Chain A
């Protein structure tokens, strides 16, 4: 009887210690699902979803406060990926949040810019270069097209433009939308 009690108690102690150690050693920082969702979001930090950035939106999805169809920059592709990740049914983009647009970048009309730095403060990814009373300019390769700089500009000198297609970014059109003869042209005779 005593042996049994000692054996069970010591076993309990050993496993308790093991579990305690594992809890410390293999602790996960943050919620991994939030990380996974955040990795799928386009990181424009534009706030069109109604949350102050992509990560807060990811957290809201996990908390069940927001649906997966609130990200216009990500569009259909992101909704499909989120649906896949969370095992939910995909649904169309919430029209209240905006419409899916091709990626655009901000351009500052340099002769109009008064150097107020308001856009610099608004840019979430430090893509605008400039100083007080100096002309500002957008670093095109860093701009995510979030449009957050448009609103604060007092002289309305920022435009969103679609960057021209280049050989590096060109994509073959889907055959359904291509007027050219996309099939192999081989002679038959």
Chain B
């Protein structure tokens, strides 16, 4: 049976924890003394620093340029002096360090005037708008941080732009807050995106547990008066904010396995990204701040903060009254898809939508993993229609061919299967492991192909050298052999050489005398 519009397979209805952080209004976090800007905070190639230690920078000035098509520049969060460009711990599941531009702020927050507002954007073409989005460092703010300009370059044949305001993660409320306070920016961003995509229809999907945000958004659409933009409500059912799931909810169309939404004529962006695009185009503001939800019962007064990128996370916790006595874990992202951090001096990056200071009660305890009993609950909740149990089976056997054949890449790592597994099997981590392991093997294969090319190039070069040597030798032998046959010619050759030597000796002596 085909799914009716407004439904996706599986998923879970989770208890919401949004009121914790939406109770107080949006605040702006103080600019810290030191800003740390990682060079790799987006999908794709790391950016390359274009400033030197000691250099003065202004707020919004680019400090690193994009390398490669899938890449994004990084901008200074405030004015100050570059202290160093060195590895610093970054928020990443690995807990590793990576190169960062570290800026000591001067408190003046003087702006960089490098980007003119493009209020006349309707007269500009799509490449010009994409270039602006790219130079302003806009990436997907829903958490994946994929460069927005690349996503906007999908070619022709699109039906609708879809803006994602579903925000289904139980603790996160940054998009909710954005819509309550700045829904006009979101609508303006939608208009810019529609123009850049040359299409005439935009759907904004929002979960029904955010009536205030929905009201603000509908009011903004009415005020601006754009009938190309439609606001639709979807049920609060995790993971409705997954790109594919939201498209299915709003349109009834399913994105094919291993495909992208553009294959069926849709393009999905987060509402925060739309607002950032509006700021970049209409006001010439690069991406230097974002709204971060700071929540969980591990923090005294949870709220949403407008934060300069590069601000250490500990500062945000302080802004919210510090940790409570029962704070146990610090998680970046939501409770379902986020990852735990080992320290809190890490900088806020473009992908930081939420900081969850969790108590033992907020999250589930780690329980002993038992054997799979093949109950099939994981498959029935999988919103991507996969077979988590089979995937896990083949992953454990390192049979990655089978894992790929079972559409591992369609797994959105939502964690539903983990949550329902009665044997407490960490399924999602198996899938994350499998993905990175497959990529790593592909990389190794490429490296060995490259090594083979170099080895073969060297071999043929050495062979060519050996042949050339033989040819030279043979030529010499031939020349000598010929001369040997004719006594007179041989004598002539020797005389000639002797004369040359004598002449050289003479000129040398003359020169010596001259000196």
A interface, CB within 8 angstroms of B: 38-39, 41-45, 53-54, 77, 80, 124-127, 142, 144, 165-175, 178, 180-189
Contact = CB atoms under 8 A, between A and B. Distances in A.
Contacts of B424: 183
B335 A166 contact: no
B362 to A, nearest CB: 5
B364 A183 contact: yes
A168 B436 CA distance: 10
B90 A167 contact: yes
Contact of A184 (B40, B98, B419, B455): B419
Contacts of B15: 187-189
Given A43-B451, A181-B340, 4 more contacts: A45-B451, A167-B96, A168-B40, A182-B429
B428 interface: yes
B427 to A, nearest CB: 8
A180 B342 CA distance: 10
A175 B430 contact: yes
B467 interface: no
Contact of B426 (A167, A183, A187): A183
A188 B364 contact: yes
Contacts of A124: 455, 458
A80 B46 CA distance: 34
Interface string B414-450: 0110110000101011101101110011011001111
B364 A185 contact: yes
A126 B40 contact: no
B419 A172 contact: no
Nearest to A143: B451
B458 A125 contact: yes
A181 B458 contact: no
A183 B432 CA distance: 11
28 contacts: A43-B455, A124-B455, A124-B458, A126-B454, A166-B98, A167-B96, A167-B98, A170-B436, A172-B93, A172-B436, A172-B437, A175-B369, A175-B430, A181-B363, A183-B424, A184-B337, A184-B415, A184-B416, A185-B335, A185-B338, A185-B363, A186-B170, A186-B364, A187-B17, A187-B171, A187-B335, A187-B362, A188-B15
Given A187-B15, A188-B15, A171 B440 contact: yes
Contacts of B171: 187
A44 B364 contact: no
A142 B454 contact: yes
A53 B416 CA distance: 48
Contacts of A178: 429
A174 B424 CA distance: 15
A175 to B, nearest CB: 4
A169 to B, nearest CB: 7
Interface in B324-358: 329, 331, 335-338, 340, 358
The 4 closest A-B pairs by CB, nearest first: A184-B415, A182-B429, A185-B363, A43-B451
Interface residues of B, number: 56
A181 B416 CA distance: 16
B92 interface: yes
A52 to B, nearest CB: 11
Contact of B363 (A39, A171, A182, A187): A187
Interface of B: 14-15, 17, 40, 46, 90, 92-94, 96, 98, 170-171, 329, 331, 335-338, 340, 358, 361-364, 366, 369, 398, 415-416, 418-419, 424, 426, 428-430, 432-433, 435-437, 440-441, 443-444, 447-452, 454-455, 457-458
A181 B340 CA distance: 8
A186 B14 contact: yes
- Which of A77, A125, A126, A165 has the most chain B CB atoms inside 10 A of its CB? A125
Contacts of B441: 77
Contacts of A77: 398, 441
Contacts of A165: 94, 96
Contacts of A168: 40, 46
A126 B440 CA distance: 24
B452 A54 contact: yes
B340 A173 contact: no
B437 A185 contact: no
Nearest to A165: B96
B170 A184 contact: no
B443 A169 contact: yes
Contacts of B429: 172, 175, 178, 182-183
Contacts of B335: 184-187
Nearest to B17: A187
B336 A185 contact: yes
Contacts of B454: 125-127, 142
Contacts of A54: 452
Contacts of B46: 167-168
A180 B426 CA distance: 11
Contact of A180 (B340, B418, B433, B449): B340
Nearest to B424: A183
Nearest to A123: B458
B363 A186 contact: yes
A186 B458 contact: no
